[in-house]
């Protein structure tokens, strides 16, 4: 049996490798917007939406990877009752950071484990992040320094680099913020006897 990550996320793969886990990378091929559209219309809370997307990704890959153990993950950013997606361009990133300035948003990070198209386990962790008051000038300097990398993040920041300068307060697990709740995942892999206890 092989451990598979159903994601092309560099940081998720790095987190698993740093924890000593050898994983195959096999990104899921699903239309996330199509999966989430009826759920958003039905009023699903963001944390449930993250869980459904993580599970859909793990199912997609496990259906074609017989007997392998597949890890799917997803992260949803909720701000003032709305789900936010990755900014399309630097102007969208600038507007988003201006909106977040001095306020709190939540990151809901979900992880699911599937085998042969069936979910064995699913978990969602939430972190609350409060940005400091940001001036338009600071945001401009930050975006220029961080570059297009901010467009790969739902919040327009990477906490593990320059993005840490944006915050006053963070409540929650660092791994949750990076998009993969490692501690619950490792505990479940031990419970499944995939890794040593």
Cα(92)–Cα(98) distance, rounded to whole angstroms? 10
* Strand-strand pairing, 3-5 and 69-79: parallel
Instruction: Say which of 24, 29, 74, 133 is annotated catalytic.
Output: 74
SS3 73: strand
* Encoded tokens for 79: 């701000």
SS3 24: strand
Q: Check if the beta carbon of residue 107 is closer than 8 Å to that of residue 77.
A: yes
Active site residue 67: no
Q: Check if the beta carbon of residue 156 is closer than 8 Å to that of residue 96.
A: yes
SS3 147: helix
Cα(53)–Cα(94) distance, rounded to whole angstroms? 27
Which residues are known to be catalytic? 74
């Amino acid at each position: 049996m092989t451990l598979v990550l159903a994601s092309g996320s560099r940081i998720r793969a790095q987190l698993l490798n740093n924890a000593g886990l050898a994983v195959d990378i096999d990104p899921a091929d699903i239309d996330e917007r199509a999966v989430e559209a009826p759920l958003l219309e039905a009023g699903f809370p963001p944390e449930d939406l993250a869980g459904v997307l993580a599970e859909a990704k793990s199912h997609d890959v496990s259906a074609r990877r017989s007997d392998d153990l597949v890890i799917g993950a997803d992260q949803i950013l909720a701000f003032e009752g709305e789900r936010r997606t990755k900014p399309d361009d630097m102007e969208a990133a600038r507007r988003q950071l201006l909106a977040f300035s001095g306020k709190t948003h939540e990151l809901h990070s979900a992880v699911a484990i599937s085998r042969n198209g069936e979910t064995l386990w699913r978990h969602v962790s939430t972190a609350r992040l409060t940005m400091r008051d940001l001036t338009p000038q600071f945001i401009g300097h930050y975006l220029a320094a961080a570059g297009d990398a901010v467009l790969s993040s739902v919040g327009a920041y990477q906490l593990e680099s320059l993005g840490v300068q944006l915050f006053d307060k963070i409540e929650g697990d660092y791994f949750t913020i990076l998009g993969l709740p490692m501690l619950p995942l490792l505990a479940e892999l031990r419970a499944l006897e995939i890794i040593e206890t």
